[in-house]
Amino acid sequence: MAVDKETVKRIAFLSRLKIEDDKIEATQAEFNKILQWIEQLNEVTTEGVEPLVSVNDGNITCREDIVTTGNHSKEILANAPQAAYGYFTVPKVIE
């Protein structure tokens, strides 16, 4: 499945990445080279094979759903590029 230029632009936007217009062709070519390479998986018969999501064999347990920590807003905001009144700030999103 080769991707076209429009798909490259769409994927870039979904990834929230900018590709300069003069780089789109090169990105598309590289993308298709990688996709072509990973498509060798089509040689493998996988009918009836259960997808492997996790290698943990039943050793995952849920901890009790209780509050174990809190009151860390100062630490949470310590690395914020912009913060005010105890909140992260972002560009205005509602007109």
Partner 1 sequence: MTELTKLTVSETLEGLKNKKFSAIEVTQSYIKSMEANRHLNAYVLETPEIALNQAKESDKRYADGTNKPLDGIPMGIKDLFCTKGIRTTACSHILDNFIPQYESTVTQNLLNAGISILGKLNMDEFAMGGSNETSFYGPAINPYKANNSDTDLVAGGSSGGSAAAVSADICAAATGTDTGGSIRQPSALCGVTGIKPTYGRCSRYGIIAFASSLDQAGPIAKSVKDCALLLNVMAGYDNKDSTSANISVPDFTQFIGKDIKGLKIGIPAEYRPDGLNAEISKLWDNGIAMLKARGAEIVNISLPHTKYALAAYYIIAPAEASSNLARYDGVRYGLRVEGNGLDEMYINTRSEGFGKEVKRRIMIGTYVLSAGYYDAYYLKAQKVRRLIRNDFIEAFKKCDMILTPTSPTPAFPIGDKSMQENPINMYLNDVFTVSVNLAGLPGMSIPMGFSEHGLPLGLQLIGQAFDESRIFQVAATLEQDANFRGK
Q: Under the rule (CB under 8 A), what is the footprint of partner 1?
A: 1, 3, 7, 11-18, 27, 30-31, 33-35, 37-44, 46, 49-57, 59-63, 72, 75-76, 78-82, 88, 90-93
Closest contact distance (angstroms) between CB of 25 and partner 1 is 15
Closest contact distance (angstroms) between CB of 67 and partner 1 is 14
Closest contact distance (angstroms) between CB of 15 and partner 1 is 5
Measured from the Cβ of residue 11, the count of other Cβ atoms closer than 10 Å reads 14
